[in-house]
Chains A and B, each alone.
Chain A
């Protein structure tokens, strides 16, 4: 019997090795699997490379992981606070300025597409994004039919941690509103995908054509009850 549900957050993040590439879903505070990230903090893996659109939102979760010195490198599009009055990536900024953490700044769509390439079995691809800018430096470029392109590499994860609204024991997932963001592509790009869901539902309860991430991309499902409204 195929049952991907696990009983605890500790079971959900078991096996993350030192040096792993861990993709974490979320855009701002939307769709962030905070409980899984906190479980990763307890789990103890070190020297992590984290792929996330931002570099921490507030003090919980990723910021704690960074403050604990567990992250060697961040791959993200926007590592700065979007709100100067309420800095949300302060732990990252501190570690970065102290030279304790490496940053790979990637255009947001290129980040998503690099994961899609990895998850779809593709090699490097040419994108017009960042052509002629500092983010293309050191990368192969080519002009095809008059358009300049930058060669970008697929981005694979050892683990992906994502948040969904509901999932079943086969790992089928649906997301709530814009909480979906990077989760579907991270599920595809990682070797082991862990989804924290608000509800585990019976198999068959999710209408097949409404499933947003088919269970083939998901290895573990853990239920974490949580409110979306603050």
Chain B
């Protein structure tokens, strides 16, 4: 049986659907950034950026670039009515102090215990640059990861032990890949959903650690 991997936009859309009304959320770069464009109109989801904006809007491509209104990726953003701006100490207190409901981030690897590696490939010659990633995962109440299920060479990114340097130990709650939605539980990884046409056996082969299938698992459509 054949299956179709989910697109980056589809992954972002699934995450957006799972964010409740009234949540304070920090979105990382890559697929997480796409999440903001799929947030349902009938929910207030308040976006936080590490440089102190709470209530970030989508940006206005027609407006001139204002260097004092940027997000963590240094892209131009707008402010929603009701937004506030603070300094770095308070902005990181929001993260570390457990005030953010959720952060959505990309990853190189996630281990079966929820260890996250997403800041450094550890290759010789790379310049270590962590930004706010370690503070975010240490403090946000929930950490969701979006990523491809395997590397470009087909190697699993869900693993027993991360081989890349860690961003945080035991911090990940849920992973959205292009094949499945997987919860990290005290007992290991539990598959909540899989793309239509993919067998559990095949998903397990593409994963570097043991998976369990939830009794109420559902099929995901690519479109």
Name A residues whose Cβ lies closer than 8 Å to a Cβ of B: 27-31, 77-80, 82-83, 92-93, 96-97, 103, 105-110, 112-113, 115-116, 127-135, 148, 176-185, 212, 228-230
Contact = CB atoms under 8 A, between A and B. Distances in A.
Given A77-B132, A128-B138, A135-B134, A176 B68 contact: yes
Contacts, number: 147
A113 B90 CA distance: 9
Nearest to B167: A133
B135 interface: yes
Given A78-B129, A78-B131, 20 more contacts: A30-B51, A77-B132, A79-B127, A80-B129, A108-B88, A110-B135, A113-B89, A127-B138, A129-B138, A132-B169, A133-B165, A133-B167, A133-B169, A176-B68, A178-B68, A178-B69, A181-B87, A185-B87, A212-B87, A230-B64
Nearest to A97: B125
B86 interface: yes
Contacts of A183: 87
Contacts of B74: 28-30, 82-83
Contacts of A134: 120, 165-166
B134 A130 contact: yes
27 contacts: A28-B74, A29-B74, A30-B51, A30-B67, A77-B131, A79-B128, A93-B127, A96-B127, A103-B127, A106-B130, A107-B133, A108-B50, A108-B130, A108-B135, A109-B134, A109-B135, A110-B135, A127-B138, A129-B138, A132-B166, A132-B169, A177-B69, A178-B53, A178-B68, A180-B86, A228-B68, A229-B66
Which of A83, A129, A148, A178 neighbours the largest number of chain B CB atoms within 10 Å of its CB? A178
Nearest to A57: B74
Task: Give the dominant DSSP class at B's interface.
Answer: loop
